[in-house]
Amino acid sequence: MVSMTRAELEGALGLPDRVNAAQYGAQQQDQLIYYRNGRTLYVYTKNGIVTAIQDTEGGGPAYQPAAKRCASSREIRDIEIRMSEIANRGNDRLQAELQKQLHTGKTCQWPV
């Protein structure tokens, strides 16, 4: 959403697949590019605040990253909540799957 901070955006969508950064005087302006579900989202920020979003069909780079994107902090929190729900506590199979997802989400490393 327009007016989100970059931290809120990354909490919702995770880290962008690409970043085009520009410095204009004292202003930092970035174009954050997300490839999601056959769509490309271009998110524009000025000094860390979302100012515009462009959503296009298709797109994506000619190359696709080998690794999946890392889980966002919101996705990790949602897994932890599912693990702690009373209805899910006795389900060993579900708990094992959620534990695996949580471990994968928390240990994800982005290439430098």
Question: What gap in Å lies between CA 105 and CA 70, rounded to an integer?
Answer: 6
Expressed in angstroms, the distance from the first to the final Cα of the chain is 28
- Residue 31's pLDDT is 95
For the chain, what is the radius of gyration of the CA atoms?
A: 17
- Tens-digit pLDDT profile for residues 76-102: 898 999 999 988 888 899 999 999 888
Which of 1.10.357.10, 3.30.1450.10, 3.40.1160.10, 3.40.50.80 would CATH assign to domain 6-57? Answer: 3.30.1450.10
- The pTM of the full predicted model, rounded to 2 decimals, is 0.53
Q: How high is the pLDDT of residue 109?
A: 57
Q: What is the pLDDT of residues 10-58, one digit of tens each?
A: 889 888 989 998 888 888 999 999 998 888 999 999 999 999 999 998 7
DSSP character string of the chain: -TT-BHHHHHHHH-S-SEEEEEEETTEEEEEEEEEETTEEEEEEEETTEEEEEEEEES---SS--SSPPPPPHHHHHHHHHHHH-HHHHT-HHHHHHHHHHHHHHHH-----
